[in-house]
Amino acid sequence: MGAMIPPRGIRHLVVLLASGVGIACATSAQRAGPAALDASAAAAITDSVRTFAADLARGVTHDGPGAWRAYFAATPAFFMASEGRLVFSSSDSAGRAIQTLERTIAHIELRWGDGLRVDPLAPGLAVLAAPYHEVRVDRAGHQVDETGFFTGLAEHRGGAWRLRNAHWSVATPPPPVP
């Protein structure tokens, strides 16, 4: 029969093993996290996502709401929220809504405001955030001017950037002072 480890020795062995696993996990997470991007890779992602954002605003303004299809990821992982509510749970639901918007919106203009931010997270993945102003005109000529803040997760796949998810927050006037 093998040698017996005293109970105190078992506790020490368990603590040592747990510490070793913890250190290995932390080291692995550091290598896989944002530190894995060097400065030139982060700068390249930032420039590329800024170009994507400019193309998105230009495309939607020029081609109307149907252009959104080219900028949303066509995957089940896609979702979009607005004003604290989930409005599209998938790219399929976004596609159906875009068809309706194409029939109801005659003109749309999207502009990003000053302060567009890109936060490179990993190769092929970045957060895009920016103030925006959008003007929509429906087929009856009614105009809606909207200003707010946008955030989205941009993913580079298949040679192009797409929004994997998006959130729009409309700025509302402050409440009156009592």
Region of 84 on the Ramachandran plot (φ > 0 left; ψ -120 to 50 alpha; else beta): left
Query: Could you read off the pLDDT of 45-66 as tens digits, one per residue?
Result: 999 999 999 999 999 999 999 9
CATH of 38-170, one of 3.40.50.12170, 3.40.50.300, 3.10.450.50, 3.20.20.70: 3.10.450.50
More confident residue, 80 or 19: 80
Q: What's the pLDDT score for residue 151?
A: 98
Tokens of 11: 């506790």
- pLDDT band of residue 176 (cuts 50, 70, 90) is confident
Contact 130, 57 (CB under 8 A): no
Residue 127's pLDDT is 98
pLDDT mean over 158-171:
96
Alpha helices (H) along the chain: 7-32, 39-63, 91-104
- Where does CATH 3.10.450.50 sit in the chain? 38-170
Name residues whose C-beta falls within 8 Å of residue 134's C-beta, 6 or more positions apart in sequence: 108, 109, 110, 111, 144, 145, 146, 147
